[in-house]
């Protein structure tokens, strides 16, 4: 599959919203506690977040993969500062990755991550962090193939179940 990776533009927003919904639905299927807002409220909230928080913010980077004029993947990353009790040094954080199901297993996710890693290196970050759904073997395998390793576990305690 031939595709290119490039910085996102505002013209990509409709396709990015479609990919975002697919990503949300995927995570909700593998982890019932993952509860995104339903359509169209979720898309509206994410587009607002994209426009008001991410777009034009120098701490954020958004890449898309494009094939035959269609956006088939996206990856978003942000620069973060550690808590003040830790040694200084910004780090990169991957917030979102989505690849169209028809384009998976063709190197799209890897190419997006390579682009984001290059951007993080330009920002002189010390490392990259991300969260991966524990119940998603596909996501776990992808990130381990990218060279990621276990670092912290996120635990859940349901106060409503008491």
The CATH number covering residue 21 comes to 3.40.630.30
Tell if the pTM clears 0.85, that is, is over it: yes
pLDDT of residue 32: 86
As a whole number of angstroms, the distance between CA 94 and CA 64 comes to: 14
128 in Cβ contact with 113 (< 8 Å): no
* CA–CA separation, 16 and 26 (whole Å): 15
Cβ atoms of 19 and 46 closer than 8 Å: no
- Give the total number of structural domains in the chain: 1
Which residue carries 């776990």 as its tokens? Answer: 140
Residue numbers of the domain that contains 56: 4-161
Instruction: List pLDDT tens digits, range 20-49.
Output: 999 999 999 998 888 988 999 999 999 999
The strands making up 91-99's β-sheet, listed across from edge to edge, are: 4-7, 60-67, 70-80, 91-99, 128-130
Q: What band does 86 get if pLDDT is binned at 50, 70 and 90?
A: confident
Handedness of CA 4, 5, 7, 13 (dihedral sign): positive
In the chain the beta strands, taken as DSSP E runs, fall at 4-7, 60-67, 70-80, 91-99, 128-130
Look at residue 88 and tell me whether its pLDDT is greater than 90: no
- Are the C-beta atoms of 106 and 147 separated by less than 8 Å? no
Residue recorded with tokens 């799209």: 108
């Amino acid at each position: 599959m031939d595709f290119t990776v490039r910085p996102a533009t505002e013209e990509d927003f409709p396709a990015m919203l479609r990919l975002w919904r697919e990503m949300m639905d995927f995570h909700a299927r593998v982890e019932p506690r993952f509860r995104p807002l339903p359509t169209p409220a979720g898309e509206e909230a994410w587009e607002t977040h994209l426009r008001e928080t991410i777009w034009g913010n120098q701490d954020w980077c958004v890449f898309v993969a494009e094939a035959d004029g269609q956006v088939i993947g996206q990856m978003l990353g942000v620069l973060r500062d550690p808590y003040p009790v830790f040694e200084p040094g910004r780090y990169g954080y991957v917030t979102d990755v989505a690849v169209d199901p028809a384009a998976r297993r063709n190197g799209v996710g890897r190419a997006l991550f390579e682009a984001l890693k290059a951007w993080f290196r330009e920002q002189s970050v010390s490392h990259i962090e991300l969260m991966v759904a524990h119940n998603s073997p596909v996501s776990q395998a992808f990130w381990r193939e990218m060279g990621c390793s276990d670092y912290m576990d996120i635990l859940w305690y349901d106060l409503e179940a008491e």
